[in-house]
Amino acid sequence: MSRSGFYEWRERPASATAQRRALLAALVAEIFAGSHETYGYRRVHAALARRGEHCSAELVR
């Protein structure tokens, strides 16, 4: 790999998928903390669905 290619790759903005996953990770952490760390992935997934964030249970897991 060339140096210029490496630095171009490093400075590239995050993809839409990466941005969405980061948003979902923050929401999952918020929901999990709000439940006093008792919710599993099924309840967290249901809470996300109630908020209008549609994703698979496997992604939440």
Q: How many Cβ atoms from other residues are within 10 Å of residue 20's Cβ? A: 14
Positive or negative torsion for Cα 8, 11, 13, 15? positive
Alpha-helical segments (H) within the chain: 3-11, 16-34, 41-51, 57-60
Query: What pTM did the predictor assign?
Result: 0.81
Q: Which of 18, 39, 17 is nearest to 28 (CA)?
A: 39
What is d(CA 12, CA 19) in angstroms, rounded to the nearest whole number? 13
pLDDT at 1 over 90: no
pLDDT in tens, 7-50: 999 999 999 999 999 999 999 999 999 999 999 999 999 999 99
